[in-house]
Amino acid sequence: MATIAQAIRMALHYGEKHLGVTDVFGEDVGPPLGGVFTATQGLKTAWNTPLDERGIIGTAMGIAYAGGRPVCEIQFCDYAFNVIDMLKVAGNQRWASGGEFDMPIVVMTPTGAGIRGSLYHSHCFESWASRLPGWKVVMPSNALDAYGLMLAAIQDPNPVFVLLPKALLRARDTRLIPGEPADPEELSRMIDAPVGDRTDWEPQWPEVGEHIVHIGTAELVREGNDGTIISYGRPLPLCVQAADELARDHNHSFDVIDLRSIFPYDWNTITRSVAKTGRVLIVNEDTEVTNYAEHLLRRVVDEHFYDLTVRPRTLMGKHVPGIGMHQNYERNSVPQLGDIRAALRELATDAA
């Protein structure tokens, strides 16, 4: 029943205790705040850095070179653009050194719109991240996957981006992380820092257990025959809701794939579903020009051209410079439930 923020916190605690995590750091990551989304409260190895993203990524790389196991945070992915060349370097260290140097770093960062964040708390990052060879990029849409993907990211000896959908960070899962108390109120009493003075506060960590979501594994969250929806992160629950509504109201059924890994992605799951349905819609909230979804679309066209019964589709964010503060800006530039529902209906009913 944890939120994504709580799940990340518990995963990092598990990482400190069992997986050798030496440092959890970034801007406002350590006490007293424990992260602007509370994802790093109470962690033993959490510390605050100067307000310097290049220093954060560079220091993570240095810690990794010297044998440490760092997890660092860029407070919002909107502030990762000034560090894109450091990310490039981190991704190529192993290849460039002919296998001499591994780069076991985890970078987590909140991504996407949905928190009324205006221009600079609403960017998406998965398309940028997908253009960093040498990296692995994961993006959960729920707390249990956030826990499992974070444990995988920590254990993977390569650089891994954990992109966290901002709008879902406080979304509660219906399932439990192994070892998590069943009562969400109890969990909150144990691991949420109190409001106000926290000087003497210490978390009471539940004995959380191992739960790994392997990198490169998608989850088929709904099964059906009238089309394939591929999504991840924030729009994923909307896709599920739209599919459920269309099943109820119009008797259409869909395969809904939660991709979970941007790279490497689970091509086997995609290809199996597309071959079955012949109809595909890819949904994300990133801007539509040179969007990661276009890569998936290219592979669908290349490898399933004769399996497709209707034209394959994408539903993406508008190519505009930003998300405006007034909700009309966001509602009309980022795919909404209604947009997804309409696109799905069209996908299912388009004449073959």
Active-site positions read 121
The interface with another protein within residues 206-225 (CB under 8 A) comprises 212, 214-217
Q: How far is the CB of 59 from another protein (least distance, A)?
A: 4
Q: How far is CA 264 from CA 3, 131, 267, 331, in A?
A: 26, 12, 9, 31
The interface with another protein within residues 286-315 (CB under 8 A) comprises 299
3-class secondary-structure state, position 89: helix
CB nearer to another protein: give 29 or 343.
29
CB nearer to another protein: give 52 or 183.
52
The interface with another protein within residues 327-346 (CB under 8 A) comprises none
Tell me: does residue 254 bind another protein (CB under 8 A). Answer: no
Tell me: does residue 17 bind another protein (CB under 8 A). Answer: no
DSSP classification of residue 172: B
Tell me: does residue 86 bind another protein (CB under 8 A). Answer: yes
Q: Which has the closest alpha carbon to 206: 193, 192, 191, 194?
A: 191
Tell me: does residue 324 bind another protein (CB under 8 A). Answer: no
**Sign of the CA dihedral with 140 first, then 231, 157, and 67 last:** negative
Rounded to 5 degrees, φ, ψ at 73 are -125, 135
3-class secondary-structure state, position 177: coil
Give the number of other CB atoms < 10 A from CB of residue 301: 13
Contact status, residue 266 vs residue 297, Cβ threshold 8 Å: no
Q: Which has the closest alpha carbon to 309: 344, 268, 283, 275?
A: 275
The interface with another protein within residues 50-69 (CB under 8 A) comprises 50, 52, 54-55, 57-68
Q: Which of 20, 44, 81, 97 binds another protein (CB under 8 A)?
A: 97
Q: How far is the CB of 252 from another protein (least distance, A)?
A: 28
Q: Which of 18, 118, 156, 178 binds another protein (CB under 8 A)?
A: 156
3-class secondary-structure state, position 239: helix
Residue recorded with tokens 């597309």: 274
CA–CA dist 75, 53 (Å, integer): 9
DSSP classification of residue 78: G
CB nearer to another protein: give 67 or 194.
67
Q: How far is the CB of 217 from another protein (least distance, A)?
A: 5
Q: How far is the CB of 351 from another protein (least distance, A)?
A: 30
Q: How far is the CB of 343 from another protein (least distance, A)?
A: 25
Site string for another protein, 258-277 (x = CB under 8 A): ---x-xxxxxx--x------
Q: How far is the CB of 165 from another protein (least distance, A)?
A: 21
The whole-angstrom distance between residue 33's C-alpha and the CA centroid of its chain comes to 22
Q: Which has the closest alpha carbon to 105: 85, 123, 87, 128?
A: 87
Residues binding another protein (CB under 8 A): 22-23, 49-50, 52, 54-55, 57-68, 70, 85-86, 88-89, 93-102, 104, 133-134, 136, 151-152, 155-158, 212, 214-217, 261, 263-268, 271, 299
